[in-house]
């Protein structure tokens, strides 16, 4: 199954309520697959092709405001159009799932895989002090699994979540095990589980408001402070990562998504040469595995941050180790995917000296 199709299948199975999207390469298969599967006939899930990405994200706002599990998917330029909407959803504390199958930018760019939307995703492409929960799948299986995980985290923290994938993971086919079909929440369950949602005001409660505006700056600061507390909690509790071969390693590669797969192959090459390299693969890009990198980094002779970008995540790696170990960046970009050989060579050159 293609990565993009896995997203679609997983969405239906985990009981998502709605998908709203607009076509863009390399992820149009998500909506195409959904339309083919016609979940409105089976689970009742709504699938709608919107007039634009701007509309899509604001449809998510409306759906999420009703306590529904709603999602969209797009690729880089389309995600840029969602920045205002994402900021609004973060500001209104609405859960949703946004999939970005990244392609090479800036501008219309290429349709080839890239990882150059890291900053946009984890630092805040929209205005204001907010964060998205960002998950980085490295396989088609994770494309499927992170749909449910993304929804779970989004609802737990009432915060938009993003799956930051790329054209490689989106387009490739791999074996996937799908979970069994889960039921969608009923309207009654929604009203009970999400008392904040606009489900129609019963006599028993005051009316609900989903909003992000506040005239009084002191009150708005308090609200922002509440967001920050939430983010600290996320950083405390929800960091996810995977390590391989780190125990005996002298060098560490930090890489996510496609780059992590390629780096794993590079590590094989390097280990054959007798260079002991380990891999830390952040699964959550926000919250970032800062502590683990700090801890592991302390034992390393050097760290190579590998991304298909001119160097974005490397800043977070550097912030983690606070100058205590050399951190270098390697990555092809603009739609070019580095090979394991190139990664291996870069590590040798940049960290060992060639």
Ligand X SMILES: Cc1ncc(C[n+]2csc(CCOP(=O)(O)OP(=O)(O)O)c2C)c(N)n1
Q: Given the rule CB under 6 A, which residues bind ligand X?
A: 22-24, 53, 77-78, 81, 108
Backbone angles phi, psi at 96, to 5 degrees: -170, 170
Six token digits for residue 6: 């896995």
Site string for its own copies, 142-181 (x = CB under 8 A): ----------------------------------------
Nearest by Cα to 255 from 272, 267, 239: 267
Least Å distance, CB 124 to other proteins, is 16
Please work out the total of residues on this chain that contact its own copies, with binding judged by CB under 8 A: 69
Query: Please, what is the minimum distance in Å from the beta carbon of residue 282 to other proteins?
Result: 17
Among 215, 248, 274, 353, binds its own copies (CB under 8 A): 215
Strands 284-286 and 133-135: antiparallel
318 touches its own copies by CB under 8 A: yes
The residue to which tokens 């290429």 are assigned: 110
Give the nearest distance from C-beta 232 to other proteins in angstroms: 27
| Phi-psi group of 353: left, alpha or beta (phi > 0 → left; psi -120 to 50 → alpha; rest → beta) | left
Which of 293, 281, 287 is CA-nearest to residue 233?
287
Closer residue to other proteins, CB minimum distance, 2 or 318: 2
Residue 90 touches its own copies, criterion: CB under 8 A: yes
> Residue 129: phi, psi to the nearest 5?
-85, 85
| CA-based R_g, the chain, Å | 21
Toward ligand X, which CB reaches closer, 15 or 23?
Answer: 23
Q: 316, 310 in Cβ contact below 8 A?
A: no
Q: Which does 62 bind (CB under 5 to 8 A by kind): ligand X, other proteins, its own copies, none?
A: other proteins
Instruction: Return the axis-axis angle of helices 140-157 and 217-237, rounded to nearest 10°.
Output: 140
Tell me the closest approach of the beta carbon of residue 45 to other proteins, in angstroms: 10
What is the smallest separation between the CB atom of 120 and other proteins, expressed in angstroms?
Answer: 16
Q: How far is the CB of 88 from ligand X (least distance, A)?
A: 10
Sign of the torsion angle spanned by Cα atoms 329, 267, 282, 97: positive
> Whats the size of the chain, residue-wise?
354
Backbone angles phi, psi at 125, to 5 degrees: -80, -25
List the interface residues with its own copies, window 99-128 (CB under 8 A).
102, 104-112, 114, 116-117, 119-120, 123-128
Angle between helix axes 3-13 and 29-37 (nearest 10 degrees) is 40
48 binds, among its own copies, ligand X, other proteins, none (CB under 5 to 8 A by kind): other proteins
Q: Is 345 helix (H, G, I), strand (E, B) or coil?
A: helix
Q: How far is the CB of 146 from ligand X (least distance, A)?
A: 23
Is 23 near its own copies (CB under 8 A)?
no
| Binding residues for its own copies (CB under 8 A) | 54, 76-77, 79-81, 83-84, 87-92, 102, 104-112, 114, 116-117, 119-120, 123-130, 211-218, 220-225, 227-228, 309-310, 312, 315, 318-319, 321-324, 332-337
């Amino acid at each position: 199954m293609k990565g993009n199709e896995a997203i679609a299948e997983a969405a239906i199975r985990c009981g998502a309520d709605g998908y709203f999207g607009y076509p863009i390469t390399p992820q149009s298969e998500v909506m195409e697959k959904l339309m083919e599967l016609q979940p409105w006939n089976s689970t009742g899930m709504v699938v709608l092709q919107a007039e634009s990405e701007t509309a899509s994200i604001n449809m998510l706002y409306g759906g999420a405001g009703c306590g529904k599990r709603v999602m969209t998917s797009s690729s880089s330029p389309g995600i840029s159009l969602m920045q205002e909407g994402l900021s609004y959803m973060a500001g209104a504390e609405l859960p949703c799932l946004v999939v970005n199958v990244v392609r090479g930018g800036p501008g219309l760019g290429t349709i080839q895989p890239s990882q150059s939307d890291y900053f946009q995703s984890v630092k805040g492409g929209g205005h204001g002090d907010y964060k998205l929960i960002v998950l980085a799948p490295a396989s088609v299986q994770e494309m499927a699994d992170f749909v449910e995980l993304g929804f779970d985290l989004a609802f737990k923290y009432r915060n938009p979540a993003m799956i930051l994938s790329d054209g490689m993971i989106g387009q490739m086919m791999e074996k996937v095990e799908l979970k069994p079909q889960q039921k969608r929440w009923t309207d009654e369950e929604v009203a009970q589980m999400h008392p904040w949602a606009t489900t129609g005001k019963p006599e028993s409660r005051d009316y609900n408001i989903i909003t992000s505006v506040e005239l009084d700056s002191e009150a708005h600061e308090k609200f922002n402070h509440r967001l920050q507390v939430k983010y600290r909690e996320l950083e405390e509790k929800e960091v996810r990562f995977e390590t391989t071969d780190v125990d005996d390693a002298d060098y560490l590669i930090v890489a996510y998504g496609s780059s992590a797969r390629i780096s794993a192959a590079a590590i094989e090459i390097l280990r054959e040469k007798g260079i002991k390299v380990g891999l830390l693969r952040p699964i959550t890009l926000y919250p970032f595995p800062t502590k683990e990198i700090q801890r592991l980094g302390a034992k390393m002779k050097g760290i190579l941050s590998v991304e298909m970008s001119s160097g974005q995540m490397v800043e977070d790696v550097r912030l983690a180790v606070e100058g205590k170990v050399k951190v270098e960046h390697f990555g092809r970009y603009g739609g070019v995917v580095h090979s394991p050989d190139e990664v291996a060579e870069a590590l040798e050159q940049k960290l060992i000296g060639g």
